[in-house]
Amino acid sequence: MFKLLIVGCLTVLVALGASAFEEHPHFCIETEPLLLSEIDRRIVMPSEKDQQCHIKATTLTLKEKASLVDTLCTDHGSTTVKRDNHHFLRLHNGELSGRGVQAEVCANEADSVLAWVPYHTVLKNYAAELNPKERLTYIAKATNVEREKTELCHFRHTDLVNAVSDNLFTCVVMIFGDNFYGLEDNINVLVELQPLMYQLRNITYLPWRNVTNSYKMHLGDSVLRNPSGERKPIYGSLNYAFVEKILVNMSSVYQDKSLARLPLLFEHRSSVLELDADGVGGLDVAEKAYFGRSMDPRSEVRVQVIGQWVDQHREFGADIYEYYGHGLRRFKQPLLGARLTFVRIDNTEPVFMAPESSNLAKASLFREQKAGQLKEDPSGNFTEWENAQEEADSDGYYGWFVVTSLLLALVVILGIYLVVRTHSRRHKQRQRYEVANTNVAPPA
């Protein structure tokens, strides 16, 4: 009962960990921006992916980032850029999480994950969350296909919150401010994508290891059978499943102050596990235990397989990746000296039960198998039993034949004994009569 409670709790733990975070179903990240030549105004039927992605963010290329930093952070003789401090939006899992300023882009040289989101998407999904009284400007880019030109520009906060969607909307070019773009052009707003989690990948376990033994639990039952007429070793196996618990020491992971305290994705057994805020997760594991023994001819024995829970304390190194959702991740920094604990089943062993009398040798027809031939029954045990036992059971008259033969032999032996004994008595009486006659005198 205690075993079932532990396994049940770990199963609930895994279920809670799996449902603790879900990626935004209508938010997508594109990592391959379209070229200018591929942007046009033709009416294109939306694909199934476009229908599902109500919010689509397209990451900047390295060339676009270099151009962005050069335009925002370099003195081009324009007082507009130096005086104004334009803003950009921050998105976390497709939701508006805040805003950043132009100076931050210059300070980190656009090292964060920046992306473009179409203006109409920002207007539809995020404008209602902004304060209409603010007087800000936002960074964007405008593409005019006819002029084959794309330029950085900025537009007013009031245009966004007031849902300006006609020719009153203008996107002013950054450097000189002498070009204007309207909504009839392709306008995309600059956003910064924030990581959702950290992925611990390329795990390398260090030599240090400490093991703490815990209690033992019952893993399953099996049967070993030896149908052969000679004593021999018989081997078997048992499939069992359990939940392997993983506990990561969070303080050993977040020892670097530059890391935000985000949930962790842990790479283990060719899977990526989501850990909760305490660094705890679990994984369903299927294993196989092997066992065997030397058995008497035509016998079988029941087996219980038990295993011992152990706590394995390990140190490991890994590569920390920032995970932004929908498969997008970026290398952050290496990790050394982190610690974790595996709670798993180890040291499995069989417990052989005493054979029952009904399991010993039986009077039955048995077809001897070829030497060394092993077959696997549905329970997963390797044995030499085949269909011969069932055939013997179907020919039940054989047992009656043997018993009847033994009874007839006993009757015959008893009859012979009685005949011999009767004949012997008669012979002795005849001898006495003949001896008595020899003692009588002959007549005169």
Number of domains in the chain: 2
Q: What average pLDDT score do residues 184-209 get? A: 90
3-state secondary structure 101-144: EHHHHHHCCCCCEEEEEEHHHHHHHCHHHCCCCCCCEEEEEEEE
Query: Is 419 in a helix, a strand, or coil?
Result: helix
Q: Are both 274 and 254 inside the same structural domain?
A: yes
Residue 18 pLDDT > 50: no
Q: What is the mean pLDDT of residues 209-226?
A: 89
* pLDDT tier at 442, thresholds 50, 70, 90: low
Rounded average pLDDT over 90-108: 91
Burial class from Cβ neighbours inside 10 Å (0-12, 13-18, 19+) for residue 162 reads middle
Claim to verify: residue 289 and residue 254 sit in the same structural domain: yes
Cα–Cα nearest to 123, from 180, 189, 191: 189
State yes or no: pLDDT of 114 exceeds 70: yes
Residue 396 maps to a domain: no
Same domain assignment for residues 232 and 355: yes
Q: What is the reported pLDDT for 311?
A: 93
Which one has a higher pLDDT value, 377 or 86? 86
Residues 255 and 313 placed together within one structural domain of the fold: yes
For residue 434 the two structure tokens come to 């003949």
The model's pTM is 0.65
pLDDT of residue 396: 56
- For residue 162, the model assigns a pLDDT of 87
pLDDT of residue 13: 35
pLDDT of amino acid 250: 93
- Average pLDDT score over residue span 197-211: 89
Q: Residue range 255-275: average pLDDT? A: 88
Query: Is residue 247 very low, low, confident or very high in pLDDT (cuts 50, 70, 90)?
Result: very high
pLDDT at 291: 92
| Residue 267 reports pLDDT greater than 60 | yes
On the question of pLDDT at 202 being above 90, the answer is yes
Cα–Cα distance for residue pair 169/185, rounded to 1 Å: 11
Of 193, 226, 253, the residue that ends a domain is: 193
**In this predicted model, which residue has the larger pLDDT, 51 or 137?**
137
Q: Are 116 and 203 in a shared domain?
A: no
Report residue 426's pLDDT band, with 50, 70 and 90 as the boundaries.
Answer: confident
pLDDT in the model for residue 400: 81
Q: Are residues 222 and 352 in the same domain?
A: yes
The per-residue pLDDT for 184 is 81
Give which of 243, 219, 257 is closest to 350, Cα–Cα: 219
pLDDT in tens, 296-333: 999 999 999 999 999 999 999 999 999 998 888 999 99
Domain boundary at 361, 396, 425, which? 361
Instruction: Examine residue 387 and state whether it is found in any structural domain, yes or no.
Output: no
Share of the chain above pLDDT 90, in %: 37
Q: Which domain holds residue 159?
A: 24-193
Question: Is position 402 within any domain?
Answer: no
Same domain, 72 and 50: yes
For residue 322, count other CB atoms closer than 10 A to its CB.
22
Average pLDDT of the residues of the chain: 79
- Reported as a pLDDT band with limits 50, 70 and 90, residue 5 is very low
Quickly state the pLDDT bin for 363 (edges 50, 70, 90): very low
Measured in whole angstroms, the distance separating CA 181 from the mean position of its chain's CA atoms is 51
Residue 171 has pLDDT above 80, yes or no: yes
In a domain, 294, yes or no: yes
201 in the same domain as 108 = no
Mean pLDDT of 396-417: 83
DSSP lists the bridge partners of residue 299 as 226
Average pLDDT over residues 355-366: 42
**Residue, of 230 and 146, whose pLDDT is higher:** 230
